[in-house]
Amino acid sequence: MIHTAFITHQNCFKHDMGEFHPEAPERLAAINDRLIAAGLMQYLDCRDAPVASRKQLERVHSEHHVERIFSSAPQRGIVHLDPDTAMNPNTLSAALVAAGAVVMAVDLVMRGQTKNAFCGVRPPGHHAEHDRPMGFCFFNNIAVGAAHAMEQYGLERIAILDFDVHHGNGTEDIFKNDERVLFCSTFQHPFYPYQGADTVSDHIINIPLSAGSGGAEFREAIATRCLPAFDAFQPQLVMISAGFDAHREDPLAHLRLVEADYAWVTAEMVALAERHCEGRMVSTLEGGYNTDALGRSVTEHLRVLMGL
């Protein structure tokens, strides 16, 4: 059995929100190129993502939200749902396989077909709320996968770490009343989406970081606030919203992480999963807008998942 599944789909390359938009198809191309150059692609279980069903989407989104995304899909040109979030004729199909990838990843790890999985998909998902698309996101991919795990496999404890530079407001919104999910988000603050710093919850751990914070501050936050809570929770599945836009080379933010920090946090999550759930882990791509830094960071993330 190959250790790690890599799930993607060609439709994810076809979603384009317009010239100069940072959430661009080149992001996935950079990841693929770097994995090939590093000689890792041949050791991954590469799979095409399926389409998420409306039933799977509506476990975490309102029927109104899902219908809005379907009905907004244009026949030509670009339609904006907000100033940052736009659809072209291929966006709906890309969003459906992005969510479907996480469902497939959950199935693979829960059935023991692979130990862990990474979903190299776009559009990202962690800003999509129960009833609102925003921040480049249409469906909340990680939430769709977590809800599938609870519904299909009866899981009662899922730990989700979101280390994107932006707060995972959509994931918090969806699971704010569901104690089966322990959610931890590290993020630059104050910064888009200007939420999360004031949350008070037993199962949501928000860790704001000041602009300019680097690996030392990030690692201390994970080690002192996230990991002890996750260990006490004893998750049956570990999930990661893997945004790489806290990298010091990213043009959209002001944290200063490097590849070694992403390798470190991935190793901590792998160890957590080994302690509590036989290594079962699902990771999915969120942000990361310097394509060179993104390719390098995802490669290190995958090296650790693969046990290399």
Whole-number Å distance between alpha carbons of 59 and 289: 30
H-type alpha helices, 127-278: 141-153, 169-175, 215-221, 227-233, 259-277
Q: How far is CA 54 from CA 64, 97, 143, in A?
A: 12, 12, 14
* Cα 308 versus chain centre, distance: 22
Chain CA centroid to CA 281, Å:
12
Task: Quote the distance between the C-alpha of residue 134 and its chain's center.
Answer: 15
Backbone conformation region of residue 116, classed left if phi is above 0, alpha if psi is from -120 to 50, else beta = beta
Residue 80 is a catalytic residue: no
Q: How far apart are CA 94 and CA 142, in angstroms?
A: 15
Quote the tokens at residue 260. Answer: 């070694």
Alpha carbon 25 to its chain centroid, in Å, reads 16
How many residues make up the chain in this entry? 308
Tokens of 174: 């969806």
* Residue of 127, 247, 276, 301 marked active site: 127
For the four alpha carbons of 29, 31, 32 and 33, in that order, the dihedral sign comes to: positive
E runs forming strands in the chain: 4-8, 45-48, 79-82, 85-87, 116-119, 158-162, 181-188, 204-209, 237-242, 281-285
> Do 304 and 281 contact (CB within 8 A), yes or no?
no
Name the residues annotated as catalytic.
127
